[in-house]
Structure 1
C-alpha cells in the first residue's frame, strides 16, 4: 500500500492506459476519482476497484478545453475525495492520425482542447491547492511521437510536445511549493495485442505492443514517495522505441 491515505484524480480513466492507472493507484491504497465521458465504462472501472477492496468514484465529464469544465471536474473530485487531491493524472487524450493537409480546423481545435487546454486549466485549478496542503504529484501523459517524427498525426504529436513542455514549465512553477510534475511517454500501448499500430514497435528491443499495466506501474512509482527526487522529467516507457536505433531488416 504505497499510496495509502492518498487521493487521486485520473482523467480519461474509463479505458486503456487511464483505466489501468486508476486501478493500479487504487490497488496501492489511493482513493481514486475515475473521470471520463462514458458512465457505463466508468461504473465498470469503479466496480472493479471496489470489488478488490479499493476506493473509487466516477465523475462524468467532457473535457472540452474550457476552463469551466476543468474547474467543475476539480471541484467535484475534491468533494468526493474529502477536500483534497494528492495525485492528478492528466491522461485524457484526443488522437488524430491524419496528415497535415487532411486535418481540418475543427479537428485541430479538438485535439488541442483535450490534450493541451484541458490539462492546463485542470492543473491551474488543482496545483495551488496541492501546494497549500503541503505538496502533491502531477503526472502528464506524453507520447514518443512528440520527439520522434512520423509522417502522420502531426497535430497529435504537436499537442503531446506541448504537454511535455508544460511538464517542465509546471515543475519550475510548482515544484518549489512541493508539487512534483513529471510525465510518462508511452510507446504503442493497447489492450489488443494485434492492434494495427503494433507494426510501429517492430525492431524495438521489446518488439511488440505494450500493455497498459506497464504505464500504470510507472504512474504508481511517480506518484509515490520513492520518486521524491524526480522533477520535470519525461519518463520513456516505450519498449526502447525512443532510446534504441531501429535497424531496418
Structure 2
C-alpha cells in the first residue's frame, strides 16, 4: 500500500460488514487509525481482529445510530476520545434498507425509520464532527449515496429519497465547510454483492444486465473510491458524487 493516510484518524460508521468493513480495512491499510463502529459487537470484534492481523491500527466503538442527535453526538465524542481528540476522516456509511415495494405499502413507521437512520444520523454526526475538524485545521467527510438516488425504479422510493437527500447534503456541506478546510464528497455505489453472502441465498443480478461492467461489484471497489476521496490525491475535489456503479447511471442499459 502507498500509506496515503499515514498518521491520520478515521471514523467509519456501519463498518462491521460488507461495504463498511471493506472501507475500514482499506483506510487502515493506507495507514489510518480507524474506528470501526456498528451495532453488532461480535461482528465488530471480528473486523478489528482482521485489521490488526494485517498490521492495521483499529479500535471498535459500538453505536446504534437511531437518528437522534444524542446517539450521533455520543459516537463522535467516544471516537474522538479513543483517537486522542482528533477525527481527520468521517465516513458516513451506516444505513438501512426497507424494501417497502410500493407507495401504498410504505407505512409511517418504516418511512420515519429510513430517514432517521439514513439521513438524520449522518446529519447530526457530521454536525458533531465537522467543528472538531475545523478547529484542527481541516478534515474530510465522505458520504455513501446510491445509484437509486438518480436512476429511479418503481419500488423502494422511500429508500431512494434518503440517498438523494444524502447526496444533496454532500453538496450543501461542501459549500458550507469547504472554505473552512473540510472537504465533503460522496461515493454512489451500484449493485454490490456481499463477498460473504451465503450461496444458498438468492441474489438478483439482473440490475447489472447491459451495463459496461455486466456484473455486480465488490465492496473493495467502493473502498478504493473512499480512500481516494479521503486522501490528498483528491485535495481539489469538493461536493462531488463519485459513481462507482459499473456504468449503471451513466450509460444506457440495454434490455436483455
TM-score by length of 1: 0.98
In structure 2, the partner of 1:2 is 4
Shift of 1:150: 0.4
Q: Provide the C-alpha distance between the structure 1 equivalents of 2:169 and 2:205, rounded to a whole number of angstroms.
A: 29
The answer to whether the 8 A contact 1:9-1:88 is kept is: yes
Q: Provide the C-alpha distance between the structure 2 equivalents of 1:55 and 1:197, rounded to a whole number of angstroms.
A: 36
Q: C-alpha deviations, 1:42-101, integer Å up to 9, x for none?
A: 000001111111111111111000000001000000001111000000000010122111
In structure 2, the partner of 1:209 is 216
Moved over 6 A (4+): none
Aligned pairs for 1:156-167 (under 5 A) are: 156-167=159-170
In structure 2, the partner of 1:107 is 110
Q: Provide the C-alpha distance between the structure 2 equivalents of 1:144 and 1:134, rounded to a whole number of angstroms.
A: 33
Is 2:187 aligned against 1:180?
Answer: no
Q: Which moved more, 1:184-193 or 1:220-229?
A: 184-193
Q: C-alpha deviations, 1:171-216, integer Å up to 9, x for none?
A: 0010001100000000011224875232111110000110000000
- SS of aligned partner of 1:196: coil
In structure 1, the partner of 2:28 is 26
Q: Provide the C-alpha distance between the structure 1 equivalents of 2:5 and 2:113, rounded to a whole number of angstroms.
A: 34
- SS of aligned partner of 2:37: strand
Q: Provide the C-alpha distance between the structure 1 equivalents of 2:177 and 2:193, rounded to a whole number of angstroms.
A: 32
Q: Which moved more, 1:185-194 or 1:196-205?
A: 185-194
Q: Provide the C-alpha distance between the structure 1 equivalents of 2:184 and 2:52, rounded to a whole number of angstroms.
A: 28
Aligned pairs for 1:6-17 (under 5 A) are: 6-17=8-19
- SS of aligned partner of 2:205: helix
The answer to whether the 8 A contact 1:188-1:197 is kept is: no
The answer to whether the 8 A contact 1:171-1:180 is kept is: yes
Consecutive unaligned residues of structure 2, counting only runs of 5 or more, are: none
TM-score by length of 2: 0.95
In structure 2, the partner of 1:168 is 171
Q: C-alpha deviations, 1:4-23, integer Å up to 9, x for none?
A: 00000000000110000000
Q: Provide the C-alpha distance between the structure 2 equivalents of 1:213 and 1:158, rounded to a whole number of angstroms.
A: 25
Q: Provide the C-alpha distance between the structure 1 equivalents of 2:86 and 2:79, rounded to a whole number of angstroms.
A: 8
The answer to whether the 8 A contact 2:65-2:117 is kept is: yes
- SS of aligned partner of 2:142: strand
Q: C-alpha deviations, 1:204-241, integer Å up to 9, x for none?
A: 00001100000000000000000000000000000000
Q: Provide the C-alpha distance between the structure 2 equivalents of 1:197 and 1:129, rounded to a whole number of angstroms.
A: 42
Q: Provide the C-alpha distance between the structure 1 equivalents of 2:82 and 2:249, rounded to a whole number of angstroms.
A: 39
Measured on the aligned residues, the alpha-carbon RMSD in Å equals 1.0
Of the candidates 207, 214, 219, which is equivalent to residue 200 of structure 1? Answer: 207
Shift of 1:132: 1.0
